[in-house]
Structure 1
Amino acid sequence: MSLLELRNVQAYYGTILALKGITLDVDQGEIVTLIGSNGAGKSTTLKSICGQVKTMGEIQYSGKEIAMQSPHLTALDGIAHVPEGRRIFPRLTVKENLEMGGFSVKSKKMVKERMEEAFTYFPRLKERVNQAGGTMSGGEQQMLAIARALMMKPRLLLLDEPSMGLAPVIVTQIFDIIQELNNRGMTILLVEQNAYQALHIAHRGYVLQTGEIVREGSATELLADAQIKEAYLA
């Protein structure tokens, strides 16, 4: 059984059909990436998993049906979502943002331990622990958004466009950290505009067009596909 299974999932914004019956799987320990043009339905897929949009169809996580479940319950089940645009709390310090990420952790000692663990991935955040999140660079804010998600100790991490708007050197750092998280056992579903870089760290991928999956395969297969190269890797 896969850790995450979507079966014929449709998603709606009001009466507008954004996902037209997609089916995909994410196995424990994988990085799976979703690629496609803007408006293809990639972010909507992540929002559907988190219960942020109206859906029909089956969404199972670790054998449990979670379609249309309240987002906070999905987070408590072990799914952490790092949304597009980071969405940190700009007026709160790095420390306060991380504490918000650990909202469900009752032990102050455990919150501190998880914060220190997050700092091992993002030492720059430790240097800015008392700095307001909104005053940091885009790359630092992305690091904070991911670190905040890690405070939940998720089994499944949903990443939406983590490289958007970042300098190439920072993008490399972010992808190195994503790969390290996976090497340590975390399962990751990655939405990424930089399809070339995403496929280089992913195990498998799905290609979305206008709310439908039109291609799937191993990352190696997708990287070698002439049509994928022309459309997304040029």
Structure 2
Amino acid sequence: MSLLQLQSIRSFYGQIQALHDISLHVGQGEIVTLIGSNGAGKSTTLKAICGQVKTTGKILFEGNEIQSHPPHTIAELGIAHVPEGRRIFPGLTVKENLEMGAFQVKDKKQITERMERVFQYFPRVKERLSQKGGTMSGGEQQMLAIGRGLMMNPKILLLDEPSMGLAPVVVEQIFEIIQKLNQTGMTILLVEQNAYQALQIADRGYVIQTGSIALQDHADALLGNEQIREAYLA
């Protein structure tokens, strides 16, 4: 059984339909990537999963329908969303940003343990604990955003454009950390403009065009697909 499954999802912004019968699945322990051009519907797919846009169809998590749940309930189930553009709290310290990721946890010992786990992946974040989030570099803010998601102790991590606006050397670091997270058993659904790097680390991929799934396959097959190479990997 898939950990996450979307069945004929249609999503709307007001009267404008953004997704057209999107169906996909993510298995336990997989990295699945969504690739496509800007405005294709990749980010909207993640927002649909998180209950942030008006949606019809079925979304199943661990076999249970969640499409009618509010966003905070979906997060409590173990779905962590790291949005495009980081969306950290710039006026809060790094420590306070991390604590916001565990706002539902009352046990201080548990919060400390989760924070220590974040530091294992992002030692630079530990060095910046008392610094205001808005004064960090773009790469550091992305690390903080992912760390905040990990503070939820999620069952699946939804990453939206984690490489956006970052220097190539930082992008390499971020993708290495995504792989390390996956090696611990973390399931990841990755939206990424850098299709080549996404497919390099993914198990499977879906190509989204104008709100619909145009193609799906194993990541290595998509890397070798001539049409995909010309459209997204050139």
Task: Name the TM-score, length of structure 2 as normaliser.
Answer: 0.99
* SS of 1:157 mapped into structure 2: strand
* SS of 1:105 mapped into structure 2: coil
1:44 corresponds to which residue?
44
How is 1:92-131 mapped onto 2 (pairs within 5 angstroms)?
92-131=92-131
Question: Counterparts of 2:192 and 2:68 in 1: how far apart (Å)?
Answer: 24
Question: Counterparts of 2:209 and 2:86 in 1: how far apart (Å)?
Answer: 24
Question: Counterparts of 2:180 and 2:210 in 1: how far apart (Å)?
Answer: 32
How is 1:1-234 mapped onto 2 (pairs within 5 angstroms)?
1-234=1-234
Amino acid at match of 2:117: E
Question: Counterparts of 2:191 and 2:69 in 1: how far apart (Å)?
Answer: 21
Moved more, 82-91 or 66-75: 66-75
Shift of 1:69: 1.4
List structure 1 runs of 4+ shifted beyond 2 angstroms.
none
Amino acid at match of 2:203: H
Shift of 1:106: 1.1
Per-residue deviation, residues 33-60 of structure 1 (Å, max 9, x unmatched): 0000001000000000000000000000
Shift of 1:224: 0.2
Task: Check whether the contact 1:52–1:68 (CA below 8 A) recurs between aligned residues.
Answer: no
Amino acid at match of 2:4: L
Task: Name the TM-score, length of structure 1 as normaliser.
Answer: 0.99
Amino acid at match of 1:90: P
Question: Counterparts of 1:139 and 1:166 in 2: how far apart (Å)?
Answer: 6
Task: Check whether the contact 1:41–1:210 (CA below 8 A) recurs between aligned residues.
Answer: yes
Amino acid at match of 1:26: V
Amino acid at match of 2:46: L
The CA RMSD measured in Å over matched residues stands at 0.4
Question: Counterparts of 2:68 and 2:86 in 1: how far apart (Å)?
Answer: 23
Task: Check whether the contact 1:48–1:68 (CA below 8 A) recurs between aligned residues.
Answer: no
Shift of 1:25: 0.4
Task: Check whether the contact 1:80–1:149 (CA below 8 A) recurs between aligned residues.
Answer: yes
Amino acid at match of 1:145: A
Shift of 1:62: 0.4
Question: Counterparts of 2:205 and 2:61 in 1: how far apart (Å)?
Answer: 19
Question: Counterparts of 1:106 and 1:35 in 2: how far apart (Å)?
Answer: 38
Question: Counterparts of 1:141 and 1:93 in 2: how far apart (Å)?
Answer: 11
Per-residue deviation, residues 78-98 of structure 1 (Å, max 9, x unmatched): 000000000000000000000
Amino acid at match of 1:24: L
Amino acid at match of 1:58: K
Identity %: 71
Task: Check whether the contact 1:54–1:68 (CA below 8 A) recurs between aligned residues.
Answer: no
* SS of 1:205 mapped into structure 2: strand
* SS of 1:28 mapped into structure 2: coil
Question: Counterparts of 2:156 and 2:173 in 1: how far apart (Å)?
Answer: 21
Shift of 1:68: 3.2
Shift of 1:184: 0.2
Per-residue deviation, residues 179-229 of structure 1 (Å, max 9, x unmatched): 000000000000000000000000000000000001000001000000000
* SS of 1:141 mapped into structure 2: helix
